[in-house]
Amino acid sequence: MSNLLAVLDAVETQPAAVELRARSYELLGDLTGATVVDVGCGGGRAVAELAERGARAVGVDLDPEMIAVARKRWQDCEFHVGDACELPLRTGSVACYRADKVLHTLDDPALAVAQARRVVAPGGRVVLLGQDWDALVIDSDEPETTRRLVHAKADALPSPRVARRYRNLLLDAGFTAPVVEVHTSVFTDDTALAVLHRITDEQSWLAEQAERARTNRIFVAVPMFLVAAQG
């Protein structure tokens, strides 16, 4: 878990990631006094940022170790161990729901979106954010190997292409007026290597990418899909 946390911390502090989270908060609307649940909260950074914007922010994550870290880091915030497909929240008890890089880890993303519909009060807002794992862009001298590795990583995930379905999942669950945005995160430093190590452990290919990083030639782009809708 420490390795995953290190990667999350490195990615989450990138300027583009900070801006994207801020945009997701904007799409939730006025957060002053509103109860907001961040599902798959990980280390809890977004929960703390939502609280700073005046929300009563609640973080939920399936991993007890992540929740322990979040509670230690952000002691004034509320965190619970819980499943995205069976949220430990009352029906209609939150004004806003946010899930960032979560649905691709689920066997049944539609069930998680149905849970969002259950817990969000009428007129509330929902935001889904994440990448399509078939859409990663990586510069390499070995394009065929790169395609193979990207597709292998995607195929190893439960729902790798769910981000392209966000809009329809929300509509199917009864949400309305969806807004779709695509923001591309670009990595040209050592953070790119950390991202690539999450994709593969194929050493010869990673060695080429490490050399690119050493000579300031590494390039990784990740399109992020951001979809907001109303309950």
Confidence of residue 8 (pLDDT cuts 50, 70, 90): confident
Predicted local distance difference test score (pLDDT) of residue 31? 96
Q: How many residues does the chain have?
A: 231
Beta bridge partners of 223: 184
Give per-residue burial for 209-226: e unless 16+ CB within 10 Å, then b: bbebbeeeebebebebbb
Predicted local distance difference test score (pLDDT) of residue 3? 66
pTM (2 decimals)? 0.91
Task: Report the pLDDT averaged over residues 219-223.
Answer: 96
Task: Report the pLDDT averaged over residues 197-221.
Answer: 96
Structure tokens at 176: 């309305």
- Top CATH class of 2-132+159-185+223-230 equals alpha beta
User: How many CB atoms are closer than 10 A to CB 201?
Assistant: 9
Res 2 pLDDT > 60? no
